Structure 1
Amino acid sequence: MLFNVTMATLMLIVASPVMLLTALLIRMTSRGPIVYTQVRVGLDRRWARTHSINERRRENLGGVPFVIYKFRSMRVDAEKDGQAVWATQGDDRTTAIGKIIRKSRIDELPQLFNVLRGDMNIVGPRPERPSIFVRLREQVDGYPLRQRVKPGITGLAQISNPYDASLDDVRRKVYFDIEYMRTQSLWTDFVIMAKTVPVMLFRIGGW
């Protein structure tokens, strides 16, 4: 916890000029809020206890829901019907500035505040929206296992693969998420954070 809070604080200080510029560009070039919020599924705090049918919630979301912060990269009407929609490469819902901040992962920087709140770690599996999580845990073996650690801004799956575009992409990422959980250590987290830099600068591992 102390490591993540310390790193998030340092990263916010270093990234503050970029975040301020991004906020100004979003405000100047498109209608809508600067910061976009969504409910995501976080840590499953029950996994270490004895799992009995009577212990489960009536509606099992798979983890503690929390509100995630991102710089808005899409139009305000990107989900007109309110249904979760997977982003795709070349998504026409993305704004001009949104294309840049998504490719460079700058849109994820506000999640440093999620780390300070205790919702996320710097490194861990990416949190998913509840409606998508419910579908994926039925379609992808081992998917709920990812909730045994706090979700992260970056992770082994993120630096090794592009954004999800299919179930096969999700399965590949689950493999990397579980591998991270198996080998998790402070050193592993440092290595993943270091490898995130070229992903942001040179779009390695993403679009």
Structure 2
Amino acid sequence: MFASHSPRHRAAARLAGLALTTVTALALGACSGAGKDGGDTGRTDAAASSRATAPASAPASPSAPPSVEHSDAPSPTHSSQAPSPDGPPDAPSPQAPARWAGGKQFVQIQNAWIRDGRTYLSVRSARKEPVTGPIEGWDIIPGKGPYTTVRMAPEGRVLLSVPLGDDSAPHTYSQAQFITRWWALPAPERGWQGYDVSFDPNGEVVRLQSLYRS
């Protein structure tokens, strides 16, 4: 018995096959789209994570401060420094010249101070000449060269007369009183005072007497 293969039956078979092919294609396309979307999402998440964990860029470093240039010029010597009641910060060794030890000198004082309970004087040799006339006194001739720092012995005596003392005749004062009175004088007047000083064998001043000046 032969099967019927009429045109109507063949058309129906072709339509059924076409429908099956369309359904299969749609199913495959849906799977492919899901995979593509998943890949994009993964890449987006990875990029976001990378940005979140990346350290912030370091701020621009401030410009370095200009370097300080150190001058090779020598520092001023003690003789060029202004006097200070505390003494110069780098006072020379309080050792009188060897030729002064055990002797006497007539000097001028550029600076005077007390440090650690000891009295120091910055002195330079000078000369004195008597002045005669209606008013007797002394002419002081300044010396030349640098000043030298000397130290007074703890028991060193100080004798002062006008203008450092209260009388024309010399009277005894303490070393601290001498420093106070010396600094109380105007600077120009301090520079024109003269002193007879005596040194012990160690070069320390054991006696200081100011020259009377009216």
TM-score, length of structure 1 as denominator length? 0.25
Q: Which has the larger helix fraction?
A: 1
Query: TM-score of the superposition, structure 2-length normalised?
Result: 0.25
Q: Which structure has the greater CA radius of gyration?
A: 2
**Larger fraction in strand:** 2
Higher relative contact order (CA 8 A, sep 6+): 1
